[in-house]
């Protein structure tokens, strides 16, 4: 269980992460806005409550593994890592700049604390399944592999191959989290390529399926704790998130999937976020 005080701490962390995302994107003048803002609560919950990790020892051999399949939402990953202490906060302002450790999509050769490089959509779950099988071979099943996916990238067939294998192998320490925000770069997911019913589809591949409000910390924490206790099959959490969450101008608008705010829009967004503290 999580206390009210812990919820308040996580809410403050998520707000800090959102502000950092806005500042990064304004400075970079490119990048994705809606997905990172929408996933800020999930990432705050993971990096400040759920994950077994050590920012001072990113290669700690008892850590949980994080795979970001939808690499374009990396501003939320970078901001969460910076606030957790993996690297200085001012490094965030180098996003997408030449030679920066914070590439436009996560790249392990630039930031070794990452578990994978990502960018081509649809490959992250396959990587996560491979990592989970490797942990089994090394008799390290007590470590969890968390794979974050976008809903739009489920259009990629490779995901379904990975889902079949994970279900067959009953990978109980693999937990996938789908950002079900209903938008992708071309518009609303159900217009581009209908995905429903995702619950039944994942379940048919022998996954245990949970559904959550991705902005409710009590729900996020309790469901992950419940999921970790299930070791007989892989778990997927369908997280219903508001794209652009925290800034009304950006919420639920596909335009903000792949566009950054300009300076004036960024200042207005920061003012709105700061008013929520």
Alpha carbon separation from 3 to 9, 48, 53, 97, 227 (Å, rounded): 10, 14, 21, 40, 19
Write down the pLDDT at residue 62. 96
Q: What are phi and psi of 120, to 5 degrees?
A: -60, 115
Q: Is the pLDDT of residue 277 over 80?
A: no
Mean pLDDT of the chain: 96
Angstrom distance (rounded) from CA 89 to CA 35 = 21
| Contact present, 62 and 52 (Cβ < 8 Å) | yes
Q: Given this model, what pLDDT does residue 1 score?
A: 77
Of 2, 124, 9, 11, which Cα lies nearest the Cα of 65? 124
Report residue 254 as tokens.
Answer: 């596909």
User: What's this model's pTM, rounded to 2 decimal places?
Assistant: 0.96
CATH topology for 4-275 is Rossmann fold (3.40.50)
User: What's residue 119's pLDDT?
Assistant: 83
Q: Residue 90: exposed, middle, or buried by beta-carbon count in 10 A (0-12, 13-18, 19+)?
A: exposed
What is the C-alpha to C-alpha distance for residues 174 and 133, in angstroms, rounded to an integer? 9
Provide the CA 127 distance to its chain's centre, in angstroms: 15
Burial of 32 (0-12, 13-18, 19+ CB in 10 A): buried
Alpha-helix residue ranges (DSSP H) falling in 212-262: 217-228
Which sign, positive or negative, has the C-alpha torsion 93, 265, 258, 84?
positive
Residue pair 172/133 in contact (Cβ under 8 Å)? The answer is no
Q: Reply yes or no on whether the pLDDT at 268 is more than 90.
A: yes
Q: What does DSSP assign to residue 50?
A: I
Q: What average pLDDT does range 231-235 have in this prediction?
A: 96
Q: What percent of the chain has pLDDT over 90?
A: 97
112-136: pLDDT as tens digits: 999 999 988 999 999 999 999 999 9
Please answer whether residues 274 and 208 qualify as being in contact, where contact means their C-beta atoms are separated by less than 8 angstroms: no
Q: Domain segments of the chain: what residues? A: 4-275
The model's pLDDT over 41-68, given as tens digits with 9 standing for 90+, comes to 999 999 999 999 999 999 999 999 999 9
């Amino acid at each position: 269980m999580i206390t009210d005080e812990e919820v308040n701490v996580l809410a403050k962390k998520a707000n800090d992460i959102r502000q950092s995302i806005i500042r990064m994107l304004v400075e970079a003048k490119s990048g994705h806005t809606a997905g990172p803002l929408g996933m800020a609560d999930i990432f705050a919950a993971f990096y400040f409550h759920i994950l077994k990790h050590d920012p001072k020892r990113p290669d700690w051999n008892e850590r949980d593994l994080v795979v970001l399949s939808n690499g374009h939402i990396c501003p939320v990953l970078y901001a969460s890592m910076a606030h957790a202490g993996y690297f200085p906060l001012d490094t965030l302002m180098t996003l997408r700049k030449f030679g920066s450790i914070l590439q436009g999509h996560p790249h392990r050769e630039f930031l070794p604390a990452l578990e994978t490089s990502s960018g081509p959509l649809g490959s992250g779950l396959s990587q996560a399944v491979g990592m989970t099988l490797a942990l089994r071979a090394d008799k390290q099943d007590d470590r969890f592999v968390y794979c974050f996916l976008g809903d739009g990238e489920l259009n990629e067939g490779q995901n379904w191959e990975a889902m079949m294998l994970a279900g067959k192998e009953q990978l109980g320490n693999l937990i996938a989290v789908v950002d079900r925000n209903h938008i992708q770069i071309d518009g609303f997911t159900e217009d581009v390529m209908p995905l429903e019913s995702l619950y039944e589809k994942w379940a048919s591949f022998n996954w245990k399926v949970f559904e959550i409000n991705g902005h409710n910390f009590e729900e996020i924490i309790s469901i992950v704790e419940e999921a970790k206790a299930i070791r007989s099959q892989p778990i997927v959490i369908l997280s219903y998130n508001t794209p652009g969450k925290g800034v009304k101008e950006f919420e639920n608008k596909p335009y903000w999937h792949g566009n950054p705010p300009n300076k004036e829009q960024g200042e207005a967004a920061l003012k709105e976020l700061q008013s929520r503290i």
